[in-house]
Amino acid sequence: MPTAFPFDKETLRRDARAARAAFVRSLSLDERQALEAALAERTLPFLANARAIGSYVPMGHEIDPAACLSQRTVLLPWFASRDDVMRFRVAVGPLEPGPFGTMQPLADAAEAVPDTLLVPLVAADMHGNRIGQGKGHFDRALAALRAVQPTIAIGLAWDVQILDALPADSWDQRLDAVVTPTRTLTA
């Protein structure tokens, strides 16, 4: 059931992170794996025609997209520095910590452009709006991708992360769908 949060993004982010963390901590390993497998089943139709899938390595209590990506070529965000724009590189072989501490492909991995992007989030709403970590990297990357080619953006979330409505700024990129282990919301 959606939870009402205040409409200040920082307060929303803090409260949504706390709700997500409490939910994930309540799960056994088997329960978490079952929910992530259910998420993968719901996500597969969106990936059927994808030529290049951009994804992410989960941080903290984010839902893990790995089950969605088996036997596919995956592109992960890559940054040369904290001031760099997000680029995507093929995730083959080992990963290394990037400038934000997130795991990313090695610098010599091939760069590529995704046409479908699996997006992490802190909270999302019924209209395809999302709140992320607060630095705008995915919004800027998605805007740049959509400026040159059609790009589908699928937000991945635990059910507890879905709210009735979220504030959206002019630079926020709307998701085409949000997928949870139990439902699919399309914008």
The closest of 160, 148, 165, 140 to 9, measured between CA atoms, is 165
Confirm whether pTM is higher than 0.75.
yes
Return the closest-CA partner of residue 161 out of 142, 176, 181: 181
**Distance (Å, rounded) from C-alpha 158 to C-alpha 117?**
17
Instruction: Report the pLDDT value the prediction gives residue 7, as an integer from 0 to 100.
Output: 60
What pLDDT shows up at residue 2?
A: 45
Predicted pLDDT at 45: 94
Residues 115-153: tens digit of each pLDDT: 999 999 999 998 999 998 867 788 889 999 999 999 999
Q: What residues of the chain score a pLDDT lower than 70?
A: 1-7, 134
Nearest in space to 131 (alpha carbons), one of 8, 2, 46: 8
